[in-house]
Amino acid sequence: MADSQDMPTPQSALDDRDYWTNASADRPQLDTMARLQSWTKKSNDLRGFVLRRCDLSGINLSKTADHPQGYRLQGADLYRANFSHAHLFSADLSGAVLMKANFNAANLQSANLENANLLGIELDHAKLHNIRWGDRILQEQQALAEEKSGHREQAADLYLEAEETYRNLRIHLERSGLFERAGDFFHREMVMRRKQMTKPSSARAISYLVDIFCGYGEKPIRVVLFSLAFIVFCAACYFFAAGVIYQGQELGLNTRFSLMENLNHFISCLYFSVVTFTTLGYGDVTPVGATRAIAAVEAFAGSFTMALYVVVFVKKMTR
């Protein structure tokens, strides 16, 4: 008896949407691409198509004058399918199963990959500009849902898959020169690694602090915001403690003074906080009493923070 996969499939079946969306139907391996393209000539709707392990290398599913919105493959099952050298410009692959699919040297520019399963996807030499990845990949969303449900083991497995997926995407984006998006994925990769750590633990706490201060080296603006917030906080400590002196006068909150006088004192405390944080130390304003300890801590924090900012900024600019 002939192999069922080599037997011709009636054209009426190929024109039937149920044939392409039926997961249990035999998929003819011979002329699969030609048969699929006969469908695409009349319709750009490939939603839910099951094309597992199909060889579709070089297929053209880019948007055309006939299909200006691009091809729609939402929810399609493309597990281990071969799309190497394929043209998928502006294709909608949201929610599709792309696990271990081969998109090497494929054109995926402006494609929509939101909520797609990207675990193990191959993207060597693929064109990846302007892809819509979504804020969070599928595995991270699933892990958060499992964690909320109290299923910690399942959540840990999904966080591991998310970390692997983010790492894979980050590597391919770096190779394509898309460093800004690669940096975003590196940040998510490190967050996923932290999520797998024992809670509570010192390693998890340190990792969380690094994220807050600089986003694992990918968010220099966080260093700036922390610096500004810390300067204002220390200035408030000096002001309410009346712990700094300028030309023999204590600078701080005094209910006997007017609002404008208190405001001037706060600005002076803010000035002292800035020169202490930046370790300039002009010496015109000096701390007294317990505020000397605050000034010492601020000076140390300022030295560390400015060094951290330089490292993070240089890392971003020299990629």
Classify 150 in phi/psi space as left (phi over 0), alpha (psi -120 to 50) or beta.
left
Position 135 scores a pLDDT of 92
Question: Three-class SS of residue 16?
Answer: coil
Q: Between the CA atoms of 199, 202, 207 and 210, what dihedral angle is there, to the nearest 10 degrees?
A: 140
pLDDT at 251: 84
Q: What is the 3-state secondary structure (H, E, C) of 251-279?
A: ECCCCCCCHHHHHHHHHHHHHHHHHHHCC
Say how far apart CA 19 and CA 25 lie, in whole Å: 7
Helix (H) or strand (E) holding 192: helix 179-195
Closest CA to 272 of 309, 223, 226, 237: 237
User: Would the pTM count as exceeding 0.85?
Assistant: no
d(CA 253, CA 256): 9
Q: What are the pLDDT tens digits along the chain (319 aa)?
A: 344 444 444 444 455 778 788 777 666 555 677 888 888 888 889 999 999 999 999 999 987 766 677 899 999 999 999 999 999 999 999 999 999 999 999 999 999 999 999 999 999 999 999 999 999 999 999 999 999 999 999 999 999 999 999 999 999 999 999 999 999 999 999 999 999 998 889 999 999 999 998 899 888 899 999 999 999 999 999 999 888 888 878 888 888 888 898 899 999 999 999 999 998 878 788 888 888 999 999 999 999 898 888 888 887 776 6
> What letter represents residue 268's amino acid?
S
Q: How many whole angstroms separate alpha carbon 57 and alpha carbon 131? A: 20
How far apart are the C-alpha atoms of 306 and 214, rounded to whole Å? Answer: 12
pLDDT of residue 200: 87
Q: What is the DSSP string of 37-70?
A: HHHHTT--B-TT-B-TT-B-TT-B----SSSTT-
pLDDT, position 6:
44
User: All domains of the chain, ordered by start, with CATH?
Assistant: 1-131 (2.160.20.80), 135-215 (no CATH), 220-317 (1.10.287.70)
Burial class (CB in 10 A: 0-12, 13-18, 19+), 152: exposed
**Residue pointed to by tokens 């699919």:** 101
C-alpha dihedral sign at 106, 107, 108, 111: negative
